[in-house]
Structure 1
Amino acid sequence: MATVTATANDLLAQHFVLISRLKESQKAHRRKLRTLPSPPLSILNLPTIPSPKPSPPPSPPSSPLLLPRRKPPRADLSQAKRARAVHYENYVPDEETIRNDYSQRYVDGGEWPQNWVLGAEPERRFEEYPKQQRLLALKKASVTEYALPPMYLPFSELASLQPSKFDVIVIDPPMSSSFSWDTLQELPLASLAADPSFIFIWVGSGAGDGLERGREVLAKWGYRRCEDVCWVKTNRESNRGPGTDPPTTSLLTRTKQHCLIGIRGTVRRSTDSWFVHCNVDTDVILWEGDLTDPTRKPPEMYTLVENFCLGLRRLELFARARSLRRGWVSVLAEGEEMHVPAVQAQARAGDAPLSLSPEQQLEAGTNVLGQELAVDRAERWDQDKWEAAMRVWLQNGRAVVPMTPGMFLYYNEKSIRV
């Protein structure tokens, strides 16, 4: 206490000395000012400098302002196109587009900008790149050749999968009041995951805590997030005009869903081409969605998985009866098992209802590209049969889709030589 008091007294003393010096300096300056003579009276009586004259007003325009000229209506256009041509200055009927005005088009018509992305459909992808198309055809043929007919089991029998291991697991959690993230993370996924392996888990639009909880669940199962896929929804068919988007408290209109990708173990493209391959897909999927089932996810996700991961052991949790797919083991969501016979009957009939989209026809058993998915031969989970097939297809101790010479050259040299 004495040290603190002494320090404070020293500071006060220094402050007093400083104030005293300032006062003496001020007195000295005042004495010098008093000795200065006053300015002559003639200088004090000089007139002030006059203000400059105001600037002249702006000159009138050399020519009258012309209003934008409307393009004359074209009789060859349909009524809808004529209406758009009148409403939009930059509308080009021959191109059926409004240049650089997609935001305004959404405001006026409710059409999302992603509706106008060209070549987004899987069947139109790489139309101008025959080598990539050839690669995908080779890949598809190999996946089909090394694939059992679909196998399925109800969710209540999930434990019967053990001790089998899977290279890829796809999960679309059925979130509800009775099924939460806490429920999901208690599932024994860690015991079903091979090393290395991948997992895909849908976590929602980002409006809630799905992105954060999804990462937590992946970590508990022994995965680390490595990528994510974004499904961007279109509304070409479901658009009902402006102001019909569902109400939301978010700052932006939500038109996408996130799927986190987790990896277990170590996989490098440069050294592990035995397990990962192709790399022609992007992390964005554009798809309209299913108007009859808003929770349904893009069927293209299965192709994306099969394109890049060579592992034959594929598992889907909370699958639908119509999503049974060759080469996959599907753990069906509650109540879906009863729909399997109807889906198989449609597949055996050789066609699907006309109301189904190409993707739905694909899942029902009629492949629009001419490749049979064998949905009609879907069977209950048979662990012995499945494990026996995996042993037959082993290559160097690994159950993977073999690479053809053409696929190998493309992967290593970025070209196809077949």
Structure 2
Amino acid sequence: MIKTETSNDFRGKNNAFRPAREVFVNDYSNHYIHTGSDPQSHVTNIENSVEGYPKLQKLFEEKEKQVSEFATKPLGCRVSIDKMVPTLNKWIQRDNLTFDVVMIGCLTDNQFIYPLLTQLPLDRLVSKPGFLFIWASTQKINELSKLLNNEVWAKKFRRSEELVFVPIDKDSPYYPGLAGDDNTLVEKMQWHCWMCITGTVRRSTDGHLIHCNVDTDLNIETSDTQNGAVPSDLYKVAENFSTATKRLHIIPARTGAETPVRLRQGWVVMSPDVILNNFDPQEYKEEIRSIGTHVPYDEEIEALRPKSPVQR
């Protein structure tokens, strides 16, 4: 909180000068310049973003229960980076396996996202309609933008949203550093995610495919996220937006034992360092048949979920 003073105020010819008033304003950018304290560390509702909003809190609770109820068991596929493309091609051609939600990347700078994206058969791996989430640091988002603006990519994937994850400070395991940007005045410490859509999905008519407005576009690191290579918030954004149950996460990087790649219920996690290697395509397809390809319609969640204004 920065304290400033207003100038003296003269009101009326018979009034004396009044004393200066103290005005308090938030200026955390200026505070950062003078103290080095990151602005995001001063956000008061990081741990519970819906505190004081009982309706939204109820929505978050019910949505989490629903996602957990209609989810596959945690599955991992341990494979080296150079074997990822052949493995995925095998799933597509031999097992006729596709996914409705595919997430690529985690919060580490040593990822080979661009080469992987140019080789992956994503048009056959991602269902139509389907959703693609690609995470990268600010330093690498420019090359991803060039790829997504390519005419071939633009025909297959429509870039819909940009999501942001911000580490709490420089001591965070998710702090990307300043590789290649040592001379910049402002540190680019946030992580970006391009969310792309295949096929046609409309908010007003496709409520069985997407749940808009359940989550925010900005996530800040909390104490619960510091438990591995991938914060839970990255998964929650995808789970809360898409109602699909076939989800794949590809991590094209070595993360090491200090930041392990943990399994998550409802996801197939492909990584060279994933803790458990228990994925079988045929067993997975059987489990999907038993739980369904999408979480079912729930009247209570629909009533709680914020809706876009109806156009007259």
Q: Mark yes or no: TM-score above 0.5.
A: yes
1:114 paired residue number: 40
C-alpha distance after superposition, 1:86-136 (max 9, x if no partner): xxx98xxxxxxx843423321232111122122122xx1212111111112
Aligned equivalents of 1:281, 1:264: Cα separation in 2: 21
2:64 is the counterpart of 1:144: no
For 1:326, what is the secondary structure of its paired residue?
Answer: coil
2:41 counterpart letter in structure 1: N
Between the two proteins, the alignment pairs up a number of residues equal to 269
Aligned equivalents of 1:263, 1:230: Cα separation in 2: 18
Q: Where does structure 1 lack aligned partners over 5 or more consecutive residues?
A: 1-67, 69-88, 91-97, 239-243, 342-378
Aligned equivalents of 2:205, 2:89: Cα separation in 1: 34
Match of 1:161 among 91, 98, 103: 91
2:270 is the counterpart of 1:331: yes
Give the TM-score normalised by the residue count of structure 1. 0.56
1:168 shift after superposition: 0.7
Give the 3 Å change call, closer, same or farther, for CA 309–384 of structure 1 in structure 2.
Answer: same
Indicate conservation of the 8 Å contact 1:214/1:260, yes or no.
no
Flag the structure with higher helix content.
1
2:176 is the counterpart of 1:250: no
Indicate the larger mover: 124-133 or 167-176.
167-176
Aligned equivalents of 1:275, 1:261: Cα separation in 2: 15
C-alpha distance after superposition, 1:27-62 (max 9, x if no partner): xxxxxxxxxxxxxxxxxxxxxxxxxxxxxxxxxxxx
Q: Where does structure 2 lack aligned partners over 5 or more consecutive residues?
A: 1-19
1:393 paired residue number: 291
Indicate conservation of the 8 Å contact 1:231/1:298, yes or no.
no
Indicate the larger mover: 309-318 or 159-168.
159-168
1:233 shift after superposition: 2.7
Q: Tell me which of the two structures has the higher relative contact order, counting C-alpha pairs closer than 8 angstroms and 6 or more residues apart.
A: 2
2:158 paired residue number: 224
2:219 is the counterpart of 1:282: no
Larger Rg: 1
Aligned ranges for residues 127-276 of structure 1 at < 5 Å?
Answer: 127-155=51-79, 156=83, 157-162=87-92, 163-172=96-105, 179=112, 181-206=114-139, 209-216=142-149, 219=153, 222-235=156-169, 248-276=182-210
1:166 shift after superposition: 0.8
Give the 3 Å change call, closer, same or farther, for CA 291–150 of structure 1 in structure 2.
Answer: closer
C-alpha distance after superposition, 1:176-233 (max 9, x if no partner): 59x4623431122222110100101013214663342341478178211111101223
Indicate conservation of the 8 Å contact 2:105/2:113, yes or no.
no
RMSD in angstroms over aligned alpha carbons? 3.6
2:11 paired residue number: none
Aligned equivalents of 1:404, 1:292: Cα separation in 2: 32
1:322 counterpart letter in structure 2: V
1:311 paired residue number: 244
Give the TM-score normalised by the residue count of structure 2. 0.73
For 1:200, what is the secondary structure of its paired residue?
Answer: strand
2:165 counterpart letter in structure 1: W
For 1:380, what is the secondary structure of its paired residue?
Answer: coil
